[in-house]
Homo-oligomer: A and B are copies of this chain.
């Protein structure tokens, strides 16, 4: 059976989750030679300011590019937790940003809670890199994309001049998991 891994990135508009999705998909496909799709749905939620992006990574063609059985959920707001944690599969992974999520989800999945946005502000000095810290946490916990592939994709995708700050944020995210 072919390998398929489903990631949903959820939170508010402006948190940079679509960029995280693009970096994950490009890292997997361009630098790690897997197949990947990245998609956004826009509808009533987007009109309310919510943001959702999905990434599917596979070693085979991806015929159905919608996440239905989520391996890993990133939830950057309480609303995202309430709405999406029930879609996570048994023994899946939920990562929450405890800067915004005050009530962690309960279910048959593993929950990892870090004050991601606060860490971005206090330890990197830039709240805007919270998404890239979250990317580090995702890459470490999912363990399906090489860290070097992600670093290459970060360099290719973030605004010129911000590469080193973003790579620092990414490594900080990796470290959050390693030192648990």
Contact surface of A with B, Cβ cutoff 8 Å: 18, 22, 25-26, 28-30, 33, 35-43, 46-47, 61-66
Q: How far is the CA of A32 from the CA of B35 in the complex (A)?
A: 33
**Out of B29, B35, B42, which one reaches A38, CB within 8 Å?**
B42
A41 lies within 8 A of B64 (CB): no
B25 lies within 8 A of A42 (CB): yes
Chain B residue at smallest Cβ distance from A47: B30
Q: Top 10 nearest A-B pairs by Cβ distance?
A: A29-B42, A39-B39, A35-B43, A36-B42, A25-B42, A37-B41, A38-B40, A65-B66, A29-B46, A30-B47
Most buried by B among A38, A42, A46: A42
Q: How far is the CA of A65 from the CA of B38 in the complex (A)?
A: 11
Q: Given A65-B65, A65-B66, is A37 in contact with B29 using a C-beta cutoff of 8 Å?
A: no
Residues in chain B near residue A33, CB distance under 8 A:
47
- A92: min CB distance to chain B, Å: 21
B47 lies within 8 A of A28 (CB): no
A36 lies within 8 A of B43 (CB): yes
B37 lies within 8 A of A42 (CB): yes
Residues in chain B near residue A30, CB distance under 8 A:
42, 46-47
Q: How far is the CA of A18 from the CA of B18 in the complex (A)?
A: 11
Chain B residue at smallest Cβ distance from A31: B47
In addition to A18-B22, A35-B42, 9 A-B residue pairs with Cβ atoms within 8 Å of each other are A22-B40, A25-B40, A29-B43, A30-B46, A36-B42, A37-B40, A38-B39, A38-B40, A38-B42
